[in-house]
Amino acid sequence: MPRPRQLDPASLTLRLQTQGPLTAQAMAAVVGVDRSRVSRALTELGESIVRLGTTRGTRYALRRAVRGLGHTFPVRRIDAEGRAQEWVELTSLHGGWRVTWADTARVPAWAEWVIALGGWSDGFPFFLSDLRPQGYLGRLVGRALPPALGLAPDPRDWSDDDTLVFLQSEGDDLPGDLVVGDRPLQRVQRRHLEPASEAIAESGRASRYPVLAENVSASGHGGSSVEGEQPKFLAVLDTATGCTPVLVKFTDRLSTPTGRRWADLLVAEAHALAILHEHGEALAVPRVLDAGGRRFLEMMRFDRVGHRGRRGVVSLRALHDTFAGADTAEWKVRALAFEREGLITAETLRSISLRHTFGRLIGNIDMHFGNLAFWLDDSLPFRLAPAYDMLPMLWAPVPGNATPSPDFAPPPPLPSERGRWSEAAAWAADFWSRVIADERVSAEFATRARGAAAVVTRMRAQFAE
């Protein structure tokens, strides 16, 4: 059958819509024409075509509009001084996304690992994936969004396009330092021009925190989409050293069994993070406050610098989903694979192993990949961010049982692990002694803590070096 003399650009458009980026040679073979006709058709399609690469392996992709927002989205960074810096231009294409760096002389060292020829990414870029609303606050954020956005109330049901719609509309105060689109950036900049009127005085915490907790519980307006299932809100404190952004977890009423157990766990979390801070693994020592019939745990945000500055962060989950490697759900197993690949250092692997072992020895059964983070900047290897969400979740309330009392049986170390295990076990023994001695802990949970401490003591006697 002779080749047709003409190639309808519409047929080429259909191919690119259904198959994603293609080389000119592949399009010619599929359509049944020579490459010169493909080149002419591509020229006719004009700016709707994006060229990926500059060699014979160049592929061509078709721009794709997202919900009437267009197809090109600027991504800026907010630096430590609160200034916006151009970083990336994101282009939505049929079949994926293109990432174009604002400064081609400062392309991140990790880019070649995740961004293909011509800036192609076949999935939503990993550095944006953590910005989808998550956890307790994420669901509250989803339910409170304007109906005009057309988004499902539960962000777990969102597509990548849905996430982009959210970021363009509401993404001005999210974890990390990235802001997508002009409107959220303008809100960030306007707040920088205004006095910190929302800041809470140190002396006002006891009166303001209960009000904020009630507002979050009733209306769902708690701040950005910080991950985690414990009820929480964001606030800014007006301290002697300036304005300090904080994350505040809170309990149900202390008069309820659920509230009482979570109150014990928040004290335990404060001790766990205090110990990790003493060993260089956490940012600061949290503060515990009882007010308005609830208990509050206040922690400095490590992704903020003062009131206006920010720092980039990325979760282990985002990295795990992006970088090929170990099929595992354990921090230290995935970290070992990263270390072998040169993505983290041996010292970072050591810190992750210590945190993981410490977590096991204090009953933390919720060390999922969203609960470990790294600093996100342009460099490699990735550097570990401070610890967070480290508490004995083994004893957390579950449906139908507000005060569970499960067996505590952390796994013993392998022979090759005994050195680091011994170090983490000493931290854990210190942790349990602090919990037992803390008068804010209920008698019931103190009994659980004494039992756990005895387990750790026996294990240290047998396995510690």
Domain map (residue ranges) of the chain: 9-62, 72-191, 196-302, 313-463
Mean pLDDT of 61-74: 95
Q: What top-level class would CATH report for the domain 196-302? A: alpha beta
Which conformational region is residue 63 in: left (phi greater than 0), alpha (psi within -120 to 50 degrees), or beta?
Answer: beta
355's tokens? 């945190």
Comparing 22-36, 97-111, 243-257, 401-415, the range with the smallest average pLDDT is 22-36
Comparison of pLDDT for 68 and 426, the residue scoring more? 426
Confidence (pLDDT) at 225: 40
Q: What is the pLDDT of residue 7?
A: 75
The yes-or-no verdict on residue 222 having pLDDT over 50 is no
The amino acid occupying position 256 is T
DSSP E strands in 187-273: the ranges are 200-201, 232-239, 242-250
Rounded CA-CA distance 237/304 in Å is 13
pLDDT at site 219: 61
pLDDT value, residue 2: 52
Give dist(CA 320, CA 341) in Å, integer: 13
Share of the chain above pLDDT 90, in %: 75
Query: Which stretch, 122-126, 156-160, 442-446, has highest mean pLDDT?
Result: 442-446
pLDDT of 314 over the 60 cut:
yes
* H or E stretch covering 90: strand 84-93
Q: How many CA atoms lie within 13 A of 152 on its CB side?
A: 12
Tell me the percentage of the chain whose pLDDT exceeds 70. Answer: 95
Q: Which of 55-59, 73-77, 173-177, 396-400 has the highest mean pLDDT?
A: 73-77
The residue written with tokens 């994101």 in the block is 90
CA 131 from chain centre, in angstroms, equals 7
- Which residues, 6+ apart, have CB-to-CB distance to 358 below 8 Å? 272, 275, 276, 390, 424, 427, 428, 431
Whether the predicted pLDDT of 285 surpasses 90? yes
Per-residue pLDDT band at 6 (split at 50, 70, 90): low
- Say if residues 287 and 270 touch (Cβ distance below 8 Å): yes
Mean per-residue pLDDT, 248-275: 97
CATH classification of 9-62, choosing from 3.40.50.300, 1.10.150.20, 1.10.10.10, 1.10.3720.10? Answer: 1.10.10.10
Mean pLDDT of the chain: 91
| pTM, full prediction | 0.92
Q: Is pLDDT above 60 for 332?
A: yes
pLDDT value at 166 more than 90: yes
> Cα dihedral sign for 253, 255, 259, 263?
positive
**Check whether domain 313-463 has CATH 1.10.1070.20, yes or no:** yes
Whether 426 has a pLDDT exceeding 90, the answer reads yes
For 297, list phi and psi in degrees, rounded to 5: -120, 115
Question: Where residue 92 falls among pLDDT bands split at 50, 70, 90?
Answer: very high
H/E stretch holding 300: strand 294-300
Q: Is the pLDDT of residue 298 over 90?
A: yes
Give the mean pLDDT of 286-295.
Answer: 98
Q: Which tens digit of pLDDT belongs to each residue from 177-221?
A: 999 999 999 999 998 887 666 899 999 999 999 999 998 887 654
pLDDT score recorded for residue 28: 87
Mean per-residue pLDDT, 237-245: 88
Residue 174 CB coordination number (10 Å): 25
pLDDT tops 50 at residue 295:
yes
- Compare 359 and 190 and report the one with higher pLDDT: 359
How far does CA 40 lie from the centroid of its chain?
45
Question: Which residues are registered as beta bridge partners of 22?
Answer: 60
pLDDT value of residue 283: 95
Helix locations, 248-379, DSSP H: 257-278, 316-322, 331-341, 346-361
The more confidently predicted of residues 226 and 388 is: 388
Residue 344 has pLDDT above 60, yes or no: yes
What's the pLDDT score for residue 35?
85
How far apart CA 286 and CA 299 sit, in angstroms, is: 5
**Separation CA 392–CA 408 (nearest Å):** 10
In this predicted structure, the answer to whether residue 397 has a pLDDT above a threshold of 80 is yes
Rounded Cα–Cα distance for residues 350 and 347 (Å): 5
CA dist list (Å): 246 to 163, 176, 209, 259, 336:
25, 14, 12, 22, 32
